[in-house]
Amino acid sequence: MEIPDMQHQMMGYDRSVTMFSPDGDLLQVDYAEKAVRRGSASVGMICKDGVVIIADKGKKDELIVLKSADKIYEIDEHIIASAAGILSDARILINHVRVSAQQHRVTYDSPIDVESIIREISDVKQQYTQHPGVRPFGVALMVAGKNGDNCKLYTSDITGNYFEYNAIAIGENDGKIKEELRKRYKKDITVNEAIKLGLDIFEKVLGDKFDVKRFNVNYIKNDEDKFKKLSEDEIGGVK
């Protein structure tokens, strides 16, 4: 007989991240995934000439300096990340892998590869689903960067799984955004076309709430070594 969610809670299955419910769920992980879907969305796309991330910063108080609320973070000059969920959790993970990226440069005199970064993030997140007295990181992370002449795009979920994507969305309305990406994304898309596509999708999903001031847009091209960030005016010009 299936046990209702309320009965799961009464029996204490949601009180420890290490305790499986009779359905085989870790309820604290399920709750953390709900926190991710409440966070404003980010979209990433691999393009024939690079990779781009478009991040919605969400609706902010008018008193906030918007630059302080950016949602795309530099890990190294060739790797960036965006997050959905509890952004303070993301900050801890980002700071951790920033140190790893710099240690790699000092040790090997070369930039770290993108998969090493997402693997380390995912390893830390997985540990927080397996030890008592802690809670899972309530954040999904999207990581994009350049390996040699090729660009890569990954996401890491609450459980510590990670996958490589051609195009992906995380956060609020991620299902609707991915549905649009499946219809409209093409592997031969250019960076400029991908930025326009991402903003068009956000406009469709957000409706009256759409405003270019809400967005961060960063990209790197295959023939460049560093990520570039579009200004608010440049984003408006693309749109």
Contact 228, 144 (CB under 8 A): no
pTM of the full structure: 0.91
pLDDT digits (tens, 9 = 90+) for 186-236: 999 999 999 999 999 999 999 999 999 899 999 999 999 899 999 988 988
- Locus of tokens 């795309």: 72
Distance separating alpha carbons of residues 184 and 198, to the nearest angstrom: 10
Above pLDDT 70, what percent of the chain? 94
**Statement: residue 161 has pLDDT above 50:** yes
CA torsion through residues 189, 195, 201, 204, sign: negative
At 52, the amino acid letter reads V
pLDDT at 10: 46
pLDDT at 123: 97
- The runs of H, that is alpha helices, within the chain are 5-10, 27-38, 87-108, 114-127, 174-184, 191-206, 232-238
Contact 153, 227 (CB under 8 A): no
Per DSSP, which regions of 29-78 are E strands? 42-47, 50-56, 72-76
Lowest mean pLDDT among 35-39, 64-68, 169-173, 202-206: 64-68
Distance separating alpha carbons of residues 72 and 63, to the nearest angstrom: 21
Distance separating alpha carbons of residues 214 and 43, to the nearest angstrom: 14
Above pLDDT 90, what percent of the chain? 74
Distance separating alpha carbons of residues 79 and 121, to the nearest angstrom: 13
Q: What is the separation of C-alpha 59 from the centre of its chain, rounded to a whole number of angstroms?
A: 18
Instruction: Take residue 33 and report the two structure tokens written for it.
Output: 């995934």
CA torsion through residues 8, 10, 15, 20, sign: negative
pLDDT digits (tens, 9 = 90+) for 8-63: 554 566 777 788 888 888 889 999 999 999 999 999 999 999 999 999 998 877 88
- Locus of tokens 């992980």: 29
pLDDT at 233: 87
pLDDT at 163: 98
Q: Which CATH architecture has domain 39-238?
A: 4-Layer Sandwich (3.60)
pLDDT at 12: 67
pLDDT digits (tens, 9 = 90+) for 128-139: 999 888 899 999
